[in-house]
Structure 1
Amino acid sequence: MHSYKNKKQQKSLPKSSVVQGPGGPIPHTTVGLCLEDIKVDGDTFTSIGDGVSTILFDPVVKKGVVKFEVLNIKELECIGIADESVQLNRNEKPEDRGWDKIVMYDYCIGWIGHIGDSVEGNAAFKTGDRVALELNMDSSPRTLTFFKNGEEQPLFVSGIPAAVRAHLQMKGDSFQVQKFESLPVPLAKHGEGSRSLEFGNEWKEDK
């Protein structure tokens, strides 16, 4: 079992640290990154190992409105959130600690997964696309909204845990973190055609 910090990255922040004020970039680090499996060049991460790699990002998000956006350079498999209690070993997938602790947005047909059925309705994403999470920790209930190339996706998640990390799963993939920032106001509208899925409940795909 290996768990290496990326020494090139910035010093880890306290778990509660998220940028204060109306908005701005959030300094970030990775958690449990194995440099035998992942090549790091600034904010670009490339899978070089044979197995699956999952990258978690600090800081833990506990308050405010936070946007986390990546550029899919090559075949990114999924992006999502994990409860702050989730700690992964080498070659583990996010769901290995329990679907009840994570939400996953999959590249292939755009489904999102939690407990129960994976639910379709968001757009698939491919190489060259920008994929983002917007976490609104100040709303009641707290929400997670997905974006593809700046376009809000219809399926969003409500009632997310009080403290979460962003995670990405890789196998032969490459991505670049483009934004990890605090927003003064949420971009998500949750308008007509949107559907809320509740964290902690068993999801059912509409037939």
Structure 2
Amino acid sequence: MAERQSESLRLPGIQDQSNVRPKLSEISFLVDEILSEDPQRCIQCTERLMGIALQGNEQTSGNLFLCALTTILNSDNIEESKVASDALSKIIRNSPNIRELLIKSGFVEMASIYLTDENTPDHIHTNILIVIQDLVFNSADVHAFSSLFGILSQISEDKDKNMKKKSIGLMAKKICAILSSQGITGPSSSDEIQGLKKQNEEQKRQIEIKKRENEELQRNDEELKRNISELQRKDEEKSRKITELERQLADSNSKPNTNIQQVSELQSGEIPISITVPKGSYTKKEGEFTYTSTQAEYKTFPINSSLYKGIYRCEFKVKTVGHLWFGIMKSGLKIPFGQHANSNQQYGKDSMFFYQDGKLFQNGKSTTGNQAIKDNDSVALEVNLNSTPRTVHLFINNVQQPIFMSGVPESVQFFFFIYQIGNSVTVLSLKRLTATSVQIIPGSKEMKWE
């Protein structure tokens, strides 16, 4: 009889399809069977639907498993509800994936319904709170429980003196304390959620700004370090240069300063004499600048010092007069032996001289008025290169002669000329004067350099 009843409960077309993917039409058929309100048929249809749902879908199996446990959790049977509560707590503590699936599957919403239903037995309240407490302790996102805060607060404030009610209230109060410590003080509205999101975005933006500022500070710090290194390098270079200059100064202080000596000589008046001419028809006395002509030949003897800026005086001694003169030439002019200052235009325009009879010659022109030079006379030429115009004057035996020349070149050399056999001239001195010895004398006559 039992066998026949079991067979009569089997649905036609279903019993052999447990391992076959169902068609959509089968699901529609199962729904019709459930609507028949036959308890046995409803059970069979439910089992079949669960089998269909489980085929090839692991997540669905988790959902169905949790659905079964939450269904048992809400059982009026105290023992069954406690077993389901323990099972859920174990899953919550050991499986993060199923724990999150429990929250997403609507457990929080289900709990809020049962906790607010006055007809819900105390043991279900207790077991639901145990599961919620485990979820709050172990869940990463406590905001999922914000909707329960108000309900839990009301339960915790219940003044019922029943021991079970008190225990439930204490448990609810404990969960509220945990949520409050995490910043949950009530249900989050959509505006609050948006506000939190904005705050989160702003915090991220501020973090990014701080990060960029920190990177900029690091770059500035590196640049500052490079600048400091460069300044230190330059400072070391300057220190080395200062040390080198100090060393050079010490060396120069330990050696005679020839430049200072030369200045002293100039200030004291004496200028070294040097005469450079080729060999020719003349003799030179040893130890003196005395030159004597040995043959009739034009011979010009320039004194090598080129004079510039200052007042200079060159003194000569005439031993034997014959055919000679004394003058100045533009610095660098060279008159070879066999030629003289009046022999062509080039030599004439770049030189001037006082002839032995006192005449002044320049550029082929002559002017009389000075006395003649005789044997054993001393002759001096004084050049003033500081005056405007620059001038040259003749002195015979320290007597200033009236005929002089102005407009001389800015740099000149003294020279003398001898020709006939026996003509003899000695260069006595070349001096730099601190002041001119030229005076304004009666009958003086100025000739201009052309």
State the SS of the aligned residue for 1:25: coil
Counterpart of 1:55? 301
> Cα gap change, 1:19/1:101 in structure 2, threshold over 3 Å: closer, same or farther?
farther
Counterpart of 2:353? 104
| Cα drift, residue 151 of structure 1 | 0.2
Confirm or deny that 1:127 pairs with 2:364: no
The one-character-per-residue Cα deviations of 1:70-128 (angstroms, maximum 9, x if unpaired) are 000111611111111311222211223431111110112x1111135310001100111
Distance across 1 between alignment mates of 2:386 and 2:263: 13
Counterpart of 2:273? 28
Distance across 1 between alignment mates of 2:380 and 2:394: 6
Confirm or deny that 1:44 pairs with 2:290: yes
State the SS of the aligned residue for 2:313: strand
Q: 2:340 touches 2:347 (CA, 8 Å); kept in 1? A: no
Counterpart of 1:165? 413
The one-character-per-residue Cα deviations of 1:132-152 (angstroms, maximum 9, x if unpaired) are 100111111111010000000
Distance across 2 between alignment mates of 1:99 and 1:24: 30
The one-character-per-residue Cα deviations of 1:6-62 (angstroms, maximum 9, x if unpaired) are xxxxxxxxxxx997653411102113x133322112211111233121111110111
Higher strand share: 1
Distance across 2 between alignment mates of 1:181 and 1:124: 24
Confirm or deny that 1:175 pairs with 2:425: yes
User: Using CA pairs below 8 Å that are at least 6 residues apart, which structure has the higher relative contact order?
Assistant: 1
Aligned 1:183-194 pairs, distance under 5 A: 183-194=433-444
Confirm or deny that 1:136 pairs with 2:384: yes
Counterpart of 1:146? 394
State the SS of the aligned residue for 1:86: coil
**More off after superposition, 18-27 vs 90-99:** 18-27
> Cα gap change, 1:190/1:156 in structure 2, threshold over 3 Å: closer, same or farther?
farther
> Cα gap change, 1:24/1:127 in structure 2, threshold over 3 Å: closer, same or farther?
same
Gaps of 5+ in 2: 1-261
Q: 1:144 touches 1:156 (CA, 8 Å); kept in 2? A: yes
Distance across 2 between alignment mates of 1:78 and 1:72: 10
Higher helix share: 2
Q: Give aligned pairs, total.
A: 182
Aligned 1:74-85 pairs, distance under 5 A: 74-75=320-321, 77-85=324-332
> Cα gap change, 1:123/1:47 in structure 2, threshold over 3 Å: closer, same or farther?
same
Q: 1:131 touches 1:147 (CA, 8 Å); kept in 2? A: yes
Counterpart of 2:366? 118
Gaps of 5+ in 1: 1-16, 201-207
TM-score of the superposition, structure 1-length normalised? 0.81
Q: 1:18 touches 1:26 (CA, 8 Å); kept in 2? A: no
**What percentage of aligned pairs have identical amino acids?**
24
Counterpart of 1:90? 337
> Cα gap change, 1:23/1:140 in structure 2, threshold over 3 Å: closer, same or farther?
farther
